[in-house]
Amino acid sequence: MDFNTDLKEEIAREVARETGIETSARDIEDILAGLQVTSHFWEVVMLARQPFNVVSSAIDFLARKGWVDTQQDGSLALTAAGKKVIEEQGIAPRQDHRCSRCHGRGVSLEKLNDLVARFKEVTARRPEPILQYDQGYVTPETTVSRIALMLDKGDLEGKRLLVLGDDDLVSLAAGLSGFPQEVVVLEIDDRLLDFINEVARKEKLPVVARKYDFRDRLPDEYVGHFDTFITDPPETLDALEICLGRGLTGLSGAGGAGYFGLTHAESSLSKWNRVQQLLVGKFGVVITDIIEDFNHYVNWDYLLPSIKSDLPFVQVEPRSNWYRSAMYRIQVLEKPVAFKNEPAACELYVDEEALIYRATLKAAKGEG
Amino acid sequence: MDFNTDLKEEIAREVARETGIETSARDIEDILAGLQVTSHFWEVVMLARQPFNVVSSAIDFLARKGWVDTQQDGSLALTAAGKKVIEEQGIAPRQDHRCSRCHGRGVSLEKLNDLVARFKEVTARRPEPILQYDQGYVTPETTVSRIALMLDKGDLEGKRLLVLGDDDLVSLAAGLSGFPQEVVVLEIDDRLLDFINEVARKEKLPVVARKYDFRDRLPDEYVGHFDTFITDPPETLDALEICLGRGLTGLSGAGGAGYFGLTHAESSLSKWNRVQQLLVGKFGVVITDIIEDFNHYVNWDYLLPSIKSDLPFVQVEPRSNWYRSAMYRIQVLEKPVAFKNEPAACELYVDEEALIYRATLKAAKGEG
């Protein structure tokens, strides 16, 4: 197969022009590989591992060419002409060889089944995601898989854990596991603060949640206090830098570990590269793990109203947990991390790769 | 737990002084976590995910303090005093939550069982590893898991694959799978060249192996020719840069993918950071996956004679496949990769983190 084939290049150029996101012929190929195994837009986004905007723009282009049809119910179908093009280009359907037991995460819940059950019990009445803070939480199995991963790495048992933003309720799963010495949640949403503190009190967990906006300085008593941090940051570059910088500021030095999720749905590979440069260059930490599709998110109510696109194949309710992120683990080396713990004003939620559209976010905040 | 505890710091400083390798209190903690679950030196190296030299130096220090005893058979035992120190330091035994089905790789062999069987059959008389080229091959299950991973990512079916050095015989597994369009092996060892070409001819595989020393220029006909490369480079920084640079030179541009293994046993986290800086900075590619312990190596005959250490707990035959490496996947972005495809004279095999000792390598090459 030849990556330089004119057709894929042409679509990639068109998509890049329309979205402002760097797009290669290979990215188009990944979308066409996905389109051969699912007719559901959100699953194509998941399989192609491309920004949502890139996938919708590419499919819109294919539709205009007559290669893809949108059905009555919003599902996608390759036309005879579309199938012919794909065959000519030699693009194979995406294969799936992920492990069915761990869903590709590599860690097992075998020894933590009781924890999964307890976690579901105590979080049954959890607050639902709201647009204002760009929330969206992971499945209980994902949350406990994070506990398994941290235990496997020696980052949780007997350790001090900082959770920066916690709509996933990792703090409660960690507390319920009985392993960490101390868990501190810093969170902006009062509903979550109240919920976490209430459960922690009732279950006698070593977990405390405090109000915090990560644009503010990390409070002095937490600087250098923790062994491990975990966070699921918004994905503008500014938000990533500040959020990860605060987490690293919380660690006690060399050997401290950080965990965070990064998606493809809202972050192009070009943004991934910039995040990686920040981590290993400026911050001087090492990336020890990148586990694709580790985090599976439960669908949230505000998705369709919050996006800009009104394309009929995009405006369909997701039928599966399509939104995923890779789990990164980073570790601090001897060199001090270069990050100034000072207040930072920045755009947290919206860039050209974000799902949420700026106007809908403003409206949600009453700024519209 | 406090990472700054004086004792762990003291051991870390002593080990760093003795080995010349950056070592943190956390690294010492990881060794002590491993020592609580195995008495076998090579398994401690595996569990601690530290350079072999760091682990042997640390255990030697612990032995001199009377905290670890070496048994008659070379196995290690924590003494009562050693157990007390570990308890005081609050260091938990290493937990294991890896998925038992995929061994933490995240990919499954379920759909590729026939390939595993065929691969074992045709490679039954494969050449054994020799010291001269720092060889050591992975288990057949590992080789086929690499095929599963490449298929999962859309990097193999219908594609052109470059294999740079192939004692693992990935080329034959790829050929037998029936998926790639073309597989080219560039390899220095005549035994492997003959073996691969013989099997390829007999089995009618689209695989060809050619003699190549990666210190030489990548031949012109292969520059920009491939969609995907895979390699398992020696782990000096020079070797990593040249080997990965040649692989990237072989790719046809944006969207091309590269796979390679990197160990902890011969590469400190500080070296990992430098490799990552090279990849995302100078080379300008993105790292999409780092899957810890993906590659399991079959024990090789020359291990014990080739290392410098004569410590009794080190000079024991490994009882399990302790030597592992993380699988990296990288992908090329729009920006051209900055690497000059020119001849390079460099040290391939030996730095202060290597298993092989310089003198034994020289002797093997008849330079001793």
Q: What is the CATH number of the domain that holds B251?
A: 3.40.50.150
Q: Are A345 and A339 in contact (CB under 8 A)?
A: no
Q: What residues does A46 pair with on adjacent strands?
A: none
ipTM of the complex: 0.96
Mean pLDDT, chain A, rounded, equals: 94
pLDDT in tens, A28-46: 999 999 999 999 999 999 9
Query: For residue B59, what are the contacts with CB-CB under 8 A and spacing of at least 6?
Result: B31, B35, B41, B44, B68, B76, B311, B313
Closest CA to A231 of A148, A97, A138: A138
Residue A129 counted as domain residue: yes
Query: Is the pLDDT score of B291 beyond 60?
Result: yes
pLDDT in tens, A63-72: 999 999 999 9
pLDDT in tens, B336-368: 888 999 999 877 878 888 888 777 778 877 764
Task: Write the residue in B90, B94, B254 that is nearest to A158 by C-beta.
Answer: B90
Strand pairing report for A228-231 and A160-164 = parallel
Claim to verify: residue B169 and residue B309 sit in the same structural domain: yes
Residue A94 counted as domain residue: no
Give the domain range for residue A24.
5-89
Claim to verify: residue B152 and residue B209 sit in the same structural domain: yes
Residue that has been written with the tokens 């050929």 in this structure: B175
Claim to verify: residue A170 and residue A71 sit in the same structural domain: no
Interface A-B: count of C-beta contacts within 8 A = 215
Q: Can you give the CATH number for the domain in which A34 is found?
A: 1.10.10.10
Residue B104 counted as domain residue: no
- Give the confidence band of A2 by pLDDT, cuts at 50, 70, 90: very low
Give the max Cα distance, chain B. Answer: 64
Strand pairing report for A182-187 and A160-164 = parallel
Task: Write the residue in B154, B227, B280 that is nearest to A277 by C-beta.
Answer: B280
User: What's the pLDDT score for residue B5?
Assistant: 58
User: What's the pLDDT score for residue B301?
Assistant: 86
Helix (H) or strand (E) holding B360: helix B358-364
Q: Which residues of B touch A108 (CB under 8 A)?
A: 97-100
pTM: 0.96
Rounded distance between C-alpha atoms, residue B172 and residue A58, angstroms: 36
Residue A236 counted as domain residue: yes
Claim to verify: residue A32 and residue A136 sit in the same structural domain: no
Claim to verify: residue B46 and residue B147 sit in the same structural domain: no
Residue B102 counted as domain residue: no
Identify the weakest region by mean pLDDT among A99-108, A122-131, B158-167, B239-248. A122-131
B167–chain A nearest CA distance, Å: 24
Residue range B77-100: average pLDDT?
Answer: 96
Domain end marker among B89, B119, B145: B89
Residue A231 counted as domain residue: yes
> Inter-chain contact B97–A152, Cβ cutoff 8 Å?
yes
B288 touches chain A (CB under 8 A): yes
Report DSSP state, residue B102: T
> Inter-chain contact B157–A111, Cβ cutoff 8 Å?
no
Claim to verify: residue A208 and residue A349 sit in the same structural domain: yes
- Give the confidence band of A4 by pLDDT, cuts at 50, 70, 90: very low
Claim to verify: residue A83 and residue A115 sit in the same structural domain: no
B87 touches chain A (CB under 8 A): no
> Inter-chain contact A25–B106, Cβ cutoff 8 Å?
no
Strand pairing report for B324-331 and B160-164 = unpaired
Claim to verify: residue A79 and residue A116 sit in the same structural domain: no
User: What's the pLDDT score for residue B1?
Assistant: 41
Residue A239 counted as domain residue: yes
Claim to verify: residue A160 and residue A261 sit in the same structural domain: yes
A281 touches chain B (CB under 8 A): yes
Residue A334 counted as domain residue: yes
Q: Where are the beta strands (DSSP E) in chain B?
A: 68-70, 76-78, 160-164, 182-187, 207-211, 228-231, 257-262, 286-296, 324-331
Claim to verify: residue A235 and residue A327 sit in the same structural domain: yes
Rounded distance between C-alpha atoms, residue B244 and residue A310, angstroms: 44
Claim to verify: residue A84 and residue A117 sit in the same structural domain: no
Helices (H), chain A: 6-19, 25-35, 41-48, 52-64, 80-89, 113-122, 140-152, 170-177, 190-203, 237-250, 269-277, 303-306, 358-364
Claim to verify: residue B46 and residue B146 sit in the same structural domain: no
Q: How many domains does chain A have?
A: 2
Identify the weakest region by mean pLDDT among A220-224, B42-46, B167-171, B298-302. B298-302
Q: What residues does B230 pair with on adjacent strands?
A: B163, B259
Helix (H) or strand (E) holding A161: strand A160-164
Give the max Cα distance, chain A. Answer: 64
> Inter-chain contact A97–B3, Cβ cutoff 8 Å?
no
pLDDT in tens, A213-245: 999 999 999 999 999 999 999 999 999 999 999
B22 touches chain A (CB under 8 A): yes
